[in-house]
Structure 1
Amino acid sequence: MAEIKRSYETVAIFNTKDGEEAVAALIEKFKALISENGTIDNEADWGKRKLAYPIEDETEGYYYVINFTSVPEFPAELDRVYKITDGVLRSLIVENEQ
């Protein structure tokens, strides 16, 4: 039976206090994780932006968006990794409408 794949979009806001190298390392980590478990369709680097309200006493965050296709079980694992990774202020994963 063919494996069902779905399209998702994830947005992550990274902490900028450790510098650009730390942010670049986190982006590469998550791109590699997504690539291992699916396919990256599109990505957008929104860069450093002012947050609407402070998160963990930070007023700026680095935004990165990735559209990907994977099996339905993978987004839960991606969310788990987001939550346990230092340097991730917020993340969101949504399924794209077909």
Structure 2
Amino acid sequence: MATISKYESVVIFKSNLGEEPTSALLEKFKALVTENGTLETVDEWGRRRLAYPINDENEGIYVQFTFSSDNNFPAEMDRQLKLSDGVLRSLIIRK
């Protein structure tokens, strides 16, 4: 039996994508979380300067997800985030 835990994820999208592709990626990950757990909050922090350049990018679009799911889902979400071209960095932690 899988146990349900609370998680928090911060995702940095590429800033040069444009509004529509960024919105599409955001909706994709919202749907992924909703299918596999309970999406509690999505906090869009907007465009921010990075502390250091990542892949020649100096800015990124930050989004924070708070969700509950079983313990197997964060590994799948991390895999999906790493496969997406529009994602610079991501971090998922258990609260």
Q: TM over 0.5: same fold? A: yes
User: In the alignment, what sits opposite 2:44?
Assistant: 45
What TM-score do you get using the length of structure 2 for normalisation?
0.96
- State the shift of 1:21 in Å: 1.1
- Could you report, residue by residue, the CA deviation over 1:20-58 in whole angstroms, capped at 9, with x for unpaired residues? 111111100000000000001112110000001111101
What TM-score do you get using the length of structure 1 for normalisation?
0.93
Detail structure 1 runs of 4+ shifted over 6 Å in the superposition. Answer: none
Of all paired residues, the percent bearing the same amino acid is 54
User: In the alignment, what sits opposite 1:9?
Assistant: 8
For residues 17 and 92 of structure 2, the distance between their equivalents in structure 1, rounded to whole angstroms, comes to 24
For residues 40 and 18 of structure 1, the distance between their equivalents in structure 2, rounded to whole angstroms, comes to 25
For residues 30 and 48 of structure 1, the distance between their equivalents in structure 2, rounded to whole angstroms, comes to 18
For residues 62 and 85 of structure 2, the distance between their equivalents in structure 1, rounded to whole angstroms, comes to 15
Q: What are structure 1's unaligned runs of at least 5 residues?
A: none
Helix, strand or coil: the match of 1:18?
coil
- For 1:26-37, list aligned pairs within 5 A: 26-37=25-36
- Could you report, residue by residue, the CA deviation over 1:50-78 in whole angstroms, capped at 9, with x for unpaired residues? 00111110101000001000000000000
Instruction: Provide the aligned C-alpha RMSD in A.
Output: 0.9
User: In the alignment, what sits opposite 1:66?
Assistant: 65
For residues 79 and 39 of structure 1, the distance between their equivalents in structure 2, rounded to whole angstroms, comes to 17
